Amino acid sequence: MKDTVFKGIIAYPITPFDKEEKVDIVLFKKLVERLVAAGSHAIAPLGSTGVLPYLSDEEKEAVTEATIDQVSGRVPTLVGVSNLTTEKTIYHARFAERAGAAAVMIIPMSYWKLSDDEIFRHYDAVASKISIPIMAYNNPATSGVDMSTGLLKRLLEIPNVTMIKESTGDIQRMHTLKKELGEEVAFYNGSNPLALAAFAAGADGWCTAATNLIPELNIMLYDAVQANDWEKARQLFYKQLDVLKFIVAKGLPRAVKAGLHLLDQDAGYLRSPLQPLEEKEVVHLKQILNDVTQM
């Protein structure tokens, strides 16, 4: 298999803000520490959960450095560096490499829908400027473009594009990728409610923000998969399914922040226009988290 550095549970921290909506780096480091301490197999700052697109260049750099400093080599770090322009994507990818990231994650953000050639050139331009591996991320719901199996095949010809994260929410896509791209590539599932089906399909890891709230259940599910104990995997999946569906439905940054607070962990503020969940939504989440704990 090509050079892959991740397996298991890849945990996505939120980016907390202070009351004035400035990034709170001290609190961020505490939230990263929780994820590492809970047994996460990797840490992935500056994803959708980390509200990457809402941050300035300087804020992205501070978050990158804070993550690598806090994780301190205990597990590998996957840094999100996606940007609308190629120039800025290169800029952040190089920064992440210099800062010590194990790999970078890149989604082809597109205000104007990009052609296959434009996407290929974009990845190729970035890849040629760094030495660490790239995880190509497909999520049409946020990027506005759905990368075909054929395009992903092309991207994998770029030497340091070695991993694929699939978040269309359609398990049939994962099957097709696995079947057509072969065993040489590492696949990561980015759709929380597909966790079980993706592992059944052969995914190497699960990219998730749920680890902020239910790390044991996430990791036990992966352990059951590794042990080929599918009856247990299924039980663990259904046990956590309501949490997975809730955080996806409400938006990961909002839902994780609310959940952390319910778990007595300060999670700071959101940046406008994002607002906290409504009270009734928080009550619903509390009920769900209680059910999970009691089961």
∠ CA 118-122-125, rounded to 5°: 135
- Segments of 179-289 assigned E as strands: 186-189, 205-208
Tell me, what DSSP letter sits at residue 135? E
**Binding to its own copies, residues 225-254 (CB under 8 A):** 228-231, 233-234, 238, 241-242, 251-254
Site membership for its own copies, residue 282 (CB under 8 A): no
Site membership for its own copies, residue 165 (CB under 8 A): no
State which amino acid sits at residue 294.
Answer: Q
Closest CB 100 distance from its own copies, rounded Å: 27
CB neighbour list of residue 255: distance below 8 Å, 6 or more residues apart: 246, 247, 249, 277, 285
- Give the separation between CA 153 and CA 178, rounded to whole angstroms: 11
Bridge partners, 208 (sequence order) = 11
Query: Regarding beta strands 42-43 and 205-208, do their DSSP bridges make them parallel or antiparallel, or are they unpaired?
Result: unpaired
Closest CB 73 distance from its own copies, rounded Å: 31
Site membership for its own copies, residue 178 (CB under 8 A): yes
Q: Which residue has the tokens 């095949």?
A: 153
**Binding to its own copies, residues 119-138 (CB under 8 A):** 119, 121-122, 125
- Give the separation between CA 240 and CA 258, rounded to whole angstroms: 17
- Give the separation between CA 37 and CA 33, rounded to whole angstroms: 6
Which of 29, 239 has the CB closer to its own copies?
239
Q: Which stretch binds its own copies (CB under 8 A): 34-42, 131-139, 260-268, 269-277?
A: 269-277
Candidates 70, 75, 78; CA nearest to 40 is 75
Which of 71, 104 has the CB closer to its own copies?
104
Site membership for its own copies, residue 294 (CB under 8 A): no
Q: Which two tokens stand for residue 184?
A: 């040489």
Closest CB 231 distance from its own copies, rounded Å: 6
Say if CB 32 and CB 44 are below 8 A apart.
no
Which of 57, 69 has the CB closer to its own copies?
57
Say if CB 18 and CB 269 are below 8 A apart.
yes
**Binding to its own copies, residues 48-107 (CB under 8 A):** 48, 51, 53-54, 84-87
Which of 68, 277 has the CB closer to its own copies?
277
Which of 162, 192 has the CB closer to its own copies?
192
String of contacts with its own copies for each residue 186-225, x by CB under 8 A: -------xx-xx--xxx-----------------------
Which residues contribute to the site for its own copies (CB under 8 A)? 21, 48, 51, 53-54, 84-87, 108, 110-115, 117-119, 121-122, 125, 142, 144, 169-172, 175, 178-179, 193-194, 196-197, 200-202, 228-231, 233-234, 238, 241-242, 251-254, 271-275
